[in-house]
Amino acid sequence: MTIPLPIETERLLIRAFDPADVDPMTGVYGDPDVMRHVCLGVLDREGTAALLEQYRRTQDEQGFSTWAVVERDSGDVIGDAGFGLYAPTGEPELGYTLAAAVWGRGYGLEAARACVAAAFTQLPHRRVVAKIEVGNTPSLRLAEKLGMRSVERISVHGRPHVLFELERT
């Protein structure tokens, strides 16, 4: 059960994180606007390095993880996309975090579609889920554009979220 990398789209390359990604991802994870709806909160360089190392270990151990999103034209690391495990069910939980400088370009939807397609091709799970904070309107819209449907309201670290699901067709 491994999702082979890289995953390529028209404008993006999705690959495992490497040590050179710490600086650009510190810019992403260190931005309060980007991290406003992420329960981890703002991360410094040390926290970013630890998180990326955790993502690399997870990829090695379970065959999928959260990965670097690279803009193909520039070669710049612009964020992350991929999967954690949704603890209550053990299903893949879709997530994405992109630099504010690239918001509005459709990269989030492009990355999410590619990740979901890879999961449904390579993993045995019948559905993918996503937890999105109630106030995160752009991410809620992205989930709907992806074809996800709202399942229930849940609390994550004391913050209201909507649980979405997308079932394999």
pLDDT at residue 104, rounded to an integer? 96
Q: What is the dihedral of CA 81, 84, 86, 87, to 10 degrees?
A: -160
Q: Largest Cα–Cα distance of the chain, in whole Å? A: 41
Helix, strand, or coil (residue 46): helix
Radius of gyration (Cα) for the chain, nearest Å?
15
Please tell me the distance from the alpha carbon of residue 34 to that of residue 46, in angstroms, as a whole number: 18
pTM of the model: 0.96
The two structure tokens encoding residue 10: 């028209």
pLDDT band per the 50, 70, 90 thresholds, residue 1: confident
pLDDT at residue 159, rounded to an integer? 94
Residue 169 reports pLDDT greater than 90: no
Hey, what amino acid is at 135? G
Average pLDDT score over the chain: 97
Q: How many CB atoms sit inside 10 A of residue 113's CB?
A: 16
Phi and psi (nearest 5°) for 72? Answer: -60, -45
Q: What are the chain's domains?
A: 7-126 (3.40.630.30)
The two structure tokens encoding residue 154: 């849940």
pLDDT at residue 114, rounded to an integer? 98
> What does each C-alpha distance from 124 to 3, 118, 163 come to in angstroms?
11, 11, 20
Task: Give the percent of the chain with pLDDT over 70.
Answer: 100
Query: pLDDT per residue over 35-62, tens digit each?
Result: 999 988 999 999 999 999 999 999 999 9
